[in-house]
Each structure stands twice: as structure tokens, then as C-alpha cells.
Amino acid sequence: MARVFRGEGLHKVDAKGRVSIPALFRRVLEAGDPDWTEGLAPNLVIVYGDHRRKYLECYTMEAIDEVDRKIAKMQRGSIERRMLEKLFNGQSYPTSVDETGRLVLPAKLRQKIGLDKEAYFIATGDTFQIWSPETYEAVEQERTEAWLEDMPEDFDPLTLLPDDDGGA
């Protein structure tokens, strides 16, 4: 099983759009890139998607390959396949981490999510997201808090997991 991203971080974005990736995230990118070896930069794909998406979703090469394989199994010519191809292939940006552990985010991507001087990174399992800190706080944090408010006071999130873990 591939390693998963864990944690969060707030990092400065310079005028050229360079931003450091959390060190733990870099290790997962390396593990998730079959072409990576010591001394090389790990590759990743940033999916920026449609107009409603307020963040950048960063995939390891293994994770995006899995998405691509699933899309390829869909009916060729179907509207659903064409839309997913556009969202995950057309509206994406293949890139790599530079030798100093940074990503260079093009102006188009920074403008799309309103990224200025700081970027908020949050792990989401086999991907991680990059948000404008203000947008994350206003949108996603509020959504999580609202969801938790609907749960009983003694709610344990582990109760949402399936009982059968496949023998693992």
C-alpha cells in the first residue's frame, strides 16, 4: 500500500510562485513516483479542476495513474468519461519538486485559488491540497465544523469506518 500524506502546514509563497512543500509530503511524493531515485526530483500532478474548486489537489504519480486507469475503463465517448478526462487531464499541471523542496506554482493556478503570500497545505490521504489560508478557513474549516455540529456530543469519527478491513 502506498504511503499517505499526513499533517498540514502554512508556507510562504514568493513573487515567482515558489512555495516549500512540507518535508513529510516530499517523502510521500518520492515513494509515490515509480521513476524517482535518490538525487532526482519527485514528479506529481496538480489538478485545478473546474470553476467551483477553490484549491489545488496534488497527486502522486501512482495516485493519478490510478485515476487515469479508472477513467480509461469508462465507456469511450460517454459524456462522463469526457468530463472526467477534461477535469483530470486537461485541467491539470504535471510538475516536479525542485532541488530545494519547492513547487513553482504558475500565476494561473495562484490566481485561480487566490493564493498570494502564503499557502496552506492539508493532507487528504493519497493526495494533498493547497489552499489560500483565508479561503480554507472560510470554506473548508467551516464545513467541517458544521458537519461535526450535526453529530452527537460523544461522536467518535472511527464509527464511520467499515467493520471489515479485508483482514488487514
Residue 124: is its pLDDT beyond 90? yes
Task: Quickly state the pLDDT bin for 114 (edges 50, 70, 90).
Answer: very high
Task: Give CA separation, 112 vs 35, 130, 157, in Å.
Answer: 30, 12, 32
Give residue 165's pLDDT. Answer: 62
Through-space distance between the first and last CA atoms of the chain, rounded to whole angstroms: 11
Give residue 1's pLDDT. Answer: 41
8-152 under CATH 3.40.1550.20, yes or no: yes
Give residue 18's pLDDT. Answer: 96
Residue 30: is its pLDDT beyond 80? yes
pTM (whole model) above 0.75: yes
Task: Compute the distance between CA of residue 73 and CA of residue 109 in angstroms, rounded to an integer.
Answer: 29
Give the phi and the psi of residue 41 in degrees, each rounded to 5: -85, 130
